[in-house]
Amino acid sequence: MPELPEVETVRRGLEPVMTGRRILQADVRRPDLRWPFPPGMAERLTGAHVVALRRRSKYILADLSTAETLLIHLGMSGRLLISGATLGSFHHPHPAPAKHDHVVLDLEGGARITFNDARRFGAMDLMPTEGAGAHPLLSALGPEPMGNDFHAAYLAARLRGRATPIKTALLDQHLVAGLGNIYVCEALFRAGIHPARLARDLTGAEVERLVPIIRDVLVDAIDAGGSSLKDYRQADGELGYFQHSFRVYDREGQVCVTPGCGAIVQRIVQSGRSSFFCPCCQPQ
Ligand SMILES: [Zn+2]
């Protein structure tokens, strides 16, 4: 499942191909993904210019010249493919239509964006650009973890008195938007905080430390995604999935990467999700 850095990588890959370009033709090949598409989606997209391409949490938002905004959510298995444009040093010709190609946008300049989603947990919707933040998928989201509204005083206030594990609190999208299992594990490891500690028990110094670490973890991952955009090894122009190197995530049973630590990474299950941590670097 794509997390925030993957979605941001997709946005950055789409930006040079989509921004400022007109959608010459929108081909909507089924009535729905996770939810029904908005009425007349193909007609409402056709002829519109893409004015700006933004991201909120794990949603890509394309502001259109029609005063509407197209929301794109990749869901579990959604993929966006670019063809007919030069990406890095590769030019991907249009592929033959494939199974699960549900929406195809042909853009001015020759590029084609294909939304492929085998499991159909993805979503697309159209809404007025003004007040787009009131969309049901967006309205309850907390601040962006890399934005100015996410700071130590805010986080401290939201953790105060909270009797849930810090891991669970950070996955709460009302508290902070777009953080997922992988990057919460990585941030808690870098901050030396055990994932099962209660949110209310974190010290002021730990909260101060955690906020810039969360930002760094995401920035590092986005940078890794950025390098993957530069050298398109994937033959099909697919955006957003790249090689990660995690310090603790998915490393159960391996030696901790902290120099001189020597402890073995452990895994516990919290709220149905795996948490990976070093019992030495992250004492309970
Ligand atoms: Zn360690």
pLDDT over 70 (residue 230) = no
Instruction: Measure 192 CA to ligand 1 centroid, in angstroms.
Output: 9
How many CA atoms lie less than 13 Å away from 3 in the CB half-sphere?
Answer: 20
pLDDT over 60 (residue 158) = yes
Burial track 266-279 (b if 16+ CB lie within 10 A, e otherwise) = beeebeebebbbbe
Burial track 50-60 (b if 16+ CB lie within 10 A, e otherwise) = bbebebbbbbb
pLDDT over 60 (residue 236) = no
Task: State the average pLDDT over residues 61-73.
Answer: 98
Task: State the average pLDDT over residues 77-94.
Answer: 78
pTM of this structure = 0.91
- How many structural domains compose the chain? 2
User: Do 161 and 257 have their domain in common?
Assistant: yes
User: Which residue numbers are catalytic?
Assistant: 2-3, 58, 273
| Residue 209 in marked binding region | no
Q: Kindly report, residue by residue over 93-149, the tens digit of the pLDDT.
A: 788 888 899 999 999 988 999 999 989 999 999 999 999 999 999 999 999 999 999
pLDDT band, residue 240 (cuts 50/70/90)? low
User: Do 58 and 167 have their domain in common?
Assistant: no
Q: Can you give the pLDDT at residue 232?
A: 47
Q: Residue 147 falls within a domain, yes or no?
A: no
Higher per-residue confidence, 86 vs 195: 195
Asked if 88 and 232 touch (Cβ cutoff 8 Å), the reply is: yes
| Residue 34 in marked binding region | no
Instruction: Measure 151 CA to ligand 1 centroid, in angstroms.
Output: 27
User: Do 183 and 209 have their domain in common?
Assistant: yes
Q: Can you give the pLDDT at residue 212?
A: 98
Instruction: Measure 56 CA to ligand 1 centroid, in angstroms.
Output: 34
Percent of the chain topping pLDDT 90: 77
Q: Kindly report, residue by residue over 173-221, the tens digit of the pLDDT.
A: 999 999 999 999 999 999 999 999 999 999 999 999 999 999 999 999 9
Range of the structural domain that residue 244 is part of:
152-277
Task: State the average pLDDT over residues 137-166.
Answer: 97
Structure tokens at 236: 């099909």
Instruction: Measure 141 CA to ligand 1 centroid, in angstroms.
Output: 33
Q: Can you give the pLDDT at residue 138?
A: 97
Final residue before a domain boundary, out of 101, 134, 167: 134
**C-alpha closest to that of 49 among 17, 26, 13, 19:** 19
| Residue 91 in marked binding region | no
pLDDT band, residue 233 (cuts 50/70/90)? very low
Q: Can you give the pLDDT at residue 94?
A: 84
Task: State the average pLDDT over residues 225-247.
Answer: 65
User: Do 185 and 114 have their domain in common?
Assistant: no
Final residue before a domain boundary, out of 74, 105, 134: 134
Detail the DSSP E strand segments found in 29-140: 50-56, 59-64, 68-73, 78-83, 86-87, 90-91, 101-107, 112-117, 123-128
Q: Can you give the pLDDT at residue 191?
A: 98
Q: Residue 282 falls within a domain, yes or no?
A: no
Q: Which secondary-structure segment (H or E) carries 231?
A: none
Residue 136's CB: how many other CB atoms inside 10 A? 8
Q: Can you give the pLDDT at residue 64?
A: 98
User: At 53, which CATH number?
Assistant: 3.20.190.10
pLDDT over 80 (residue 237) = no
User: Helix 181-191 to helix 204-230 angle, to the nearest 10 degrees?
Assistant: 130
Q: Residue 210 falls within a domain, yes or no?
A: yes
Higher per-residue confidence, 82 vs 1: 82
User: At 241, which CATH number?
Assistant: 1.10.8.50
Instruction: Measure 256 CA to ligand 1 centroid, in angstroms.
Output: 5
